[in-house]
Structure 1
Amino acid sequence: MGRILHLATTCLLVIGSFGCSSRQRIPVVEQTRTAMGTFFTIALYGRVEPAAAEEAIAAAFDTIQAVEGWASAKLPGSEISVLNRAAGRDTVAISADLSTLLNLARQVSETTHGAFDVTVGALTTLWGFEDSPQAPPDSAAVDSARQLVGYSRLWVGDGRAYLGKPGMRLDLGAIAKGWAVDRAFEVLRGRGFADVLVDGGGDLRVSSSPVTAGRRRVWVRHPRRAGEYFARFPYDSGAVATSGDYERYFLHNGVRFHHILDPQTGWPARGCVSVTVLGPDATLCDAWATAIFVLGPEKGLEIAKQIPDIETLIVFEVNGQLFWRATERLSAMLEILDPEAQPGPPAGFLRE
């Protein structure tokens, strides 16, 4: 087989599999580094000048680090941290990039009536999935944190932003990684590289040349079987992102509590186990994968059909049985690898 890219910690497991042993191996210049709490892999395919490729990849990684520098709530000096500390008190000057990103997030929030909401930071801090919790927080604490969530109380304009209530916090975890992938991709394309792959912890953006066209496959990780794949599909150009309940979670009294929170309830979203979104850029794929996951399989698929240029695969579980649904174009090129998984039950069967 050809070269395999395997990032075991990603929500979307990607394998760049180019042809078979009878074909010539495709040259690649590739680097993997850690950033934004995950692994980023950048690869340039075809016959490229190695020194120029290495320099371009280094510049792309610099761009990713720059995004992390202003988007991470873990960094005390980041724009997000400064804005969070000023919640309910002052407006804060923000960069053009953050302003654009917050406005994009608001569009998804408005379309989904709050199923996607970057002001969810008080809830994500309370749940603390990065600290490996063993039990859910107290219901009263969840209700209290939920009062600090609401995209309508985030104001952005004239190069400034304001969180309207003390204690509100932004968390860009469901959109910033996609933004970083897009910016790195643009750096590489801007330097003249045609055959590009940028993978940020499963948020993926690719472009192909005649060398790789028709030979790239995206493999979607199985949400319930470690080391296995649920589906695969060909993909030459565009972006892909997946949200799943199987990466950051804990079991308590036999119940799975995962990190994808419903902003309106404060608790992990129920209904989906995995959502994969394809689209023109990683930023919107990242956001829409989370939004559709929160909406659930019926409402999520319904709204996905209304959004131009995106496709989605939704995997959900009913009484221990995995079902799947997909938009029409993706269904036509999708290969389901789990023989036990079934196409989704009729609309109205689920109770969301």
Structure 2
Amino acid sequence: MDSFLRRTSLIVGLLLAPAMAKAEWFQFSGTAMTTPIQMEFWGDSETEAKRISQRVFDEFDRIDAQMSRYRERSELSAVNREAAEHPVVVSGGLFRVFEKAQEVSELSDGAFDISFGSVGYLYDFREKKQPTAEEVEQHLPKINYRDIELNKAERSVSFRKAGLLTDMGGIAKGYSVDRGIAILKSEGIRHARLSAGGDMYLLGDKRGRPWVVGVRDPRQAAKNAVVLPVSDVAISTSGDYERFFIDEEGNRVHHILSPKSGRPVEGIQSVTIIGNDTLTTDGLSTAVFVLGVEKGLAMINKLDGIDAIIIDSDRKLHYSRGLLDPQDASAPE
């Protein structure tokens, strides 16, 4: 297995490579897809860095216009309106995300399911509203990723069931980060960090040293539960602290819903997935969150090049096999 330990850069004694006369680190931040975007990279000049960063932000905006469920004119909204009546031809990017979503759904036996939007749309986290038991019961049968048909030859999407609604919130940001990294690479950037909310890609190392990334404590935003030295890697975290409210009974109502119950998943506070591309790690972080510790680690331990860190509701840390000492025999099968 291409484990996390093999991917990390632990050689900290290397001297920094000689820099070009004007090269330096440039940092940029903004908002896209209702999410904070942060980026830093090693570049030759401020003018070029601004131009490159704008290309990346424009790509985030373009993808948001395609895949946002909040935009009436987005491709995804058109799919949700029309796919139960006839196949809807979509762009290559959106089709790719649909394909990856189906792949993760199959892998996790439906724990990840973009048709959760059929019930998810009934939640309003800003207004602190959640559906009634009757509303959940009425819409729950509409959640089934197997009712989403993809035609690769025509690049179209169709639904077998009326009322099915998809939501790309658990995977589109990962795709956007990958696209942003592709732009940076095309511009000759070799050392960069790009993040969109809980999804991040570290391109190369930090000029001779590893990037140091913290996995935040789910209950103390200013503290890290784990600190990772990494390079050339994708990292995605799903947590019950990202979008939530506390209801009248004192329950935490968060955005990661079980496709089986239509209610927020219990038992886990956060899941961090480490892998080779952010589209995959984004989907898997949600899948593991829904599966739970035992089933989630069992799935991850079967995947090459993927590792996981889970913080359960008792605030206990769990690691996939690739993060454990080779002599540790306690890794779940």
Q: Which amino acid aligns with 2:217?
A: H
> 1:42: how far off?
1.8
Local SS of the residue matching 1:269: coil
TM-score (norm: length of structure 2): 0.87
Alignment of 1:28-43 (within 5 A): 28-43=25-40
Identify the match of residue 115 of structure 1 among 103, 111, 114. 111
Alignment of 1:321-340 (within 5 A): 322-331=315-324
Matches of 2:282 and 2:142, distance apart in 1: 23
**4+ long deviations beyond 4 Å:** 23-26, 345-348
Identify the match of residue 232 of structure 2 among 216, 233, 237. 237
CA RMSD in angstroms comes to 2.4
> 1:148: how far off?
1.2
Which residue of the partner structure matches residue 143 of structure 2?
149
**Distance of aligned partners of 1:332 and 1:28 in 2 relative to their CA distance in 1, 3 Å threshold:** farther
Matches of 1:243 and 1:38, distance apart in 2: 14
Local SS of the residue matching 2:316: strand
Unaligned runs of 5+ in 1: 1-18, 334-344
> 1:347: how far off?
6.8
Which residue of the partner structure matches residue 133 of structure 1?
128
Q: Alpha-carbon deviations, 1:73-93, whole Å to 9, x = none? A: 111111100011114212111
Q: Alpha-carbon deviations, 1:232-269, whole Å to 9, x = none? A: 11011111010011121222312222110011111111
- Contact kept in structure 1, 2:265 and 2:289, CA below 8 Å: yes
Matches of 1:44 and 1:243, distance apart in 2: 25
Are 1:55 and 2:51 an aligned pair? yes
> 1:332: how far off?
5.2
Matches of 1:229 and 1:312, distance apart in 2: 16
Matches of 2:263 and 2:177, distance apart in 1: 28
- Contact kept in structure 2, 1:213 and 1:236, CA below 8 Å: no
Are 1:186 and 2:179 an aligned pair? no
Identify the match of residue 248 of structure 1 among 240, 243, 247. 243
Are 1:65 and 2:67 an aligned pair? no
What is the number of equivalent residue pairs in this alignment?
Answer: 310
> 1:346: how far off?
9.5
**Distance of aligned partners of 1:347 and 1:111 in 2 relative to their CA distance in 1, 3 Å threshold:** closer
Q: Alpha-carbon deviations, 1:99-151, whole Å to 9, x = none? A: 1111111011011111001111121111222x3315x4211211111111111
Matches of 2:195 and 2:167, distance apart in 1: 21
- Contact kept in structure 1, 2:105 and 2:111, CA below 8 Å: yes
Which residue of the partner structure matches residue 280 of structure 2?
284
Higher RCO by CA contacts (8 Å cutoff, separation 6 or greater): 2
- Contact kept in structure 2, 1:126 and 1:145, CA below 8 Å: no
Identify the match of residue 103 of structure 1 among 99, 105, 120. 99
Which residue of the partner structure matches residue 214 of structure 1?
209
Q: Percent identity?
A: 30
> 1:68: how far off?
0.5
Matches of 1:108 and 1:208, distance apart in 2: 27
> 1:213: how far off?
3.5
Matches of 1:266 and 1:49, distance apart in 2: 50
Unaligned runs of 5+ in 2: 1-11
Matches of 2:311 and 2:267, distance apart in 1: 9
- Contact kept in structure 2, 1:242 and 1:286, CA below 8 Å: yes
- Contact kept in structure 2, 1:207 and 1:237, CA below 8 Å: yes
Matches of 1:347 and 1:194, distance apart in 2: 37
- Contact kept in structure 1, 2:321 and 2:332, CA below 8 Å: no
Matches of 1:332 and 1:220, distance apart in 2: 20
Matches of 1:213 and 1:310, distance apart in 2: 24
Q: Alpha-carbon deviations, 1:257-315, whole Å to 9, x = none? A: 21100111111112211100000011111100000000001100110101121110011
Matches of 1:215 and 1:144, distance apart in 2: 50
Q: Which amino acid aligns with 1:317?
A: S
Matches of 2:238 and 2:268, distance apart in 1: 9
Are 1:300 and 2:293 an aligned pair? no
Matches of 1:212 and 1:33, distance apart in 2: 24
Are 1:168 and 2:161 an aligned pair? no
